[in-house]
Each structure stands twice: as C-alpha cells, then as structure tokens.
Structure 1
Amino acid sequence: MQPRVQGGAAELRARREADLQRALARLADTGTAVRVARYSLVGPRQDPADRLAETQAVVHRRRWTDSITTFDDTGVGDPALRPQMARLFAALDAGEIHGIVAVSQVDISPFPTVYAHTLDALRARRGFLALARSETSI
C-alpha cells in the first residue's frame, strides 16, 4: 500500500506546474530553446501512437523542440526501472533535453508517492514534466 501524498492530485499538479514554470523561466532568461522528450507508458504489445500524438500536440502548441520520442511497454512499475525512462533521465543529465512531455500522470505512475518521487528527481536535475491531461486523467 502506498502512503498518501499530502493534498492529493491538486498538490501534485501544483508541484509539477511550479517546476515547469521555474524551468521555463530559467530557459527564457538564457534565451535557450526548450528541448523535450515525448514519452508514453503502454502495456505489452500496445501501440503507443495515439498517446504519443497527444504529446506532440503539447510540443506543437508550446513551440518546443521534440528531441526524443520514446515509450516503455513494461506496464506499471517503478519508473526508475524502465529502460526508456532511464534513457530520458540520462538525457536530462547530459543537457540533451530540458523536460519530458507525457499524456498523464499514469505514464509516470498511478501511485501518488511514486509520482511525487519522480517529480522530485526531475526537479533535482533542473528538469520538468509537462502533461497533456491533468493528474486525474488516464
């Protein structure tokens, strides 16, 4: 059983959006174009195309640069153990991307504590997570 995160979905959304705004302000101050990775989590043998198309809409609307497009088909589990998520964290560390665009919280984790931990890991790397849907959507 996962411990409950204080404030639930609203608190998680506020944390994510604050990290996003901080990162975008920092990049704007330096005149740096925003580079992102589009990411989706799907079940085994599930086609990620529709979900990745939703992430493309976010990238297009915000006029960001799409540097990496990828997905994991490992099903729900710890994001730190997913091969493509690990690739994206390495890309953040290397400065290849500034953030990750996913469809919803479930692409990271349906468990609030795991999701919050992932937001913390992104913030520690000066990265961000942008979502096409809110934290309460699938």
Structure 2
Amino acid sequence: MSQSTTRASSAPATWMDLDNERIRAFRPDLPRVTPDRSVQLMRLRKEQVGRRLAALRACGRTPRIVLYARTVNGQTPVRSLTAARSFAERMAWQVGRDQEFTDCLSLTEVEDRLGWLRMKQRLASGFLDGIVAITRSDVSPHLNVYERELDWLTLHGGFIALVHAETVVPQ
C-alpha cells in the first residue's frame, strides 16, 4: 500500500523514484508533470488505511468500524449499507449493532450532515477506528473538502475505507 501522496511519502523510494529525482536535479529545464490530484488523494487515503490497520494489528485489535451511506428522499439506503457491511465483514472488521449512519444526498456540506458529524465525534472520542463508505463522493465530491476530511481522520487516528475505490479516468 505504499504510494505517493500530496505530502512527502514515508514509503521507501524505488529505483525509478531515485532516477527521476536525479534527472530533475540535473535537468531543471525539463517539464514536470504533477500527478492528478484525484490520484494523489486516492494514494493518501490508501496509505492512511494501511498505516492505521498496521497499528491496530500491532496492538492485537480488530478495527471497529461504522457504515456510512447517503440517502435519497429519506429512504434507507439498504443496498449501500449492505454492500458496506459485506465489505467490512470480508475485511474481518468489527461492525457493532446500530453502527450505520446516513445523511441526505441533498446535504452537500459535511458540516450540515448530522450522521457524518456523529461518526467524527465517536472517532474523536476513541469509540471507533474507521468508516466504511461506498464511494469517495459519499464524503464529498469536492477534492479540497475530501482532503480536509482525510486529514481530520488521520489527525484523530481514524481512516475511511471505500467499497468502490476511487477510479481515475484519463481525460
């Protein structure tokens, strides 16, 4: 799970990374292409999940997870929650009773979503280790908001796992 991120990565450099670094140092005239921001955030999220899971394994603990899904017209997102629960079970993570949180799809700002805020409160209090959602857009379709939430989760010792990992389509 070691990957580059928007920040300096703690992953060991490969020969290709070292070679590229030397080329950049000795050939400043060459154009530099930065990775797509979606790719950077995907890598950041995966690194965070990997680091947190490794820390939990070292303590001999099973990750305590909550499930999160967005609703339409107040209907219970049964399929989304079932998919999230199946994912957590495949990963052998612990999902307690009544650990499903939902928010209306029309609430675009994370600060307006009661379910999201409750999960963050439980995570900050130490009652859970991570969140399982269906897609990145369940957190936010806006990359800067998504990154801010990833940073918050990391700062509070948590992570978010996605049933459908981010897909990056070349344009």
- TM-score above 0.5, yes or no: yes
Provide the rounded CA distance (Å) in 1 between the counterparts of 2:83 and 2:120.
21
Runs of 5+ consecutive residues of structure 1 not aligned to the other structure: 1-5
1:132 and 2:163 matched: yes
Aligned to 2:86: 57
Runs of 5+ consecutive residues of structure 2 not aligned to the other structure: 1-34
* Matched residue SS, 2:126: coil
For the aligned residue pairs, the C-alpha RMSD in angstroms reads 1.6
Provide the rounded CA distance (Å) in 1 between the counterparts of 2:144 and 2:83.
25
Aligned to 2:49: 20
Whether the 8 Å contact between 2:130 and 2:159 is mirrored in structure 1 is yes
Aligned to 1:3: none
Provide the rounded CA distance (Å) in 2 between the counterparts of 1:105 and 1:45.
21
Whether the 8 Å contact between 1:40 and 1:107 is mirrored in structure 2 is yes
Provide the rounded CA distance (Å) in 1 between the counterparts of 2:94 and 2:111.
25
The 4+ residue runs of structure 1 with deviation greater than 6 A are: none
Whether the 8 Å contact between 2:133 and 2:161 is mirrored in structure 1 is yes
Residue 154 of structure 2 is aligned with which of 108, 123, 126?
123
Whether the 8 Å contact between 1:74 and 1:82 is mirrored in structure 2 is no
1:99 and 2:152 matched: no
Report which stretch shifted further, 65-74 or 39-48: 39-48
Greater relative contact order structure (CA < 8 Å, 6+ sep): 1
Larger radius of gyration: 2
Q: TM-score normalized by structure 1?
A: 0.89
Aligned residues: percent identity? 28
Alpha-carbon shift at residue 23 of structure 1 (Å): 0.5
Whether the 8 Å contact between 1:41 and 1:108 is mirrored in structure 2 is no
Equivalent residue pairs, number: 132
Q: TM-score normalized by structure 2?
A: 0.72
Provide the rounded CA distance (Å) in 2 between the counterparts of 1:79 and 1:89.
11
* Matched residue SS, 1:25: helix
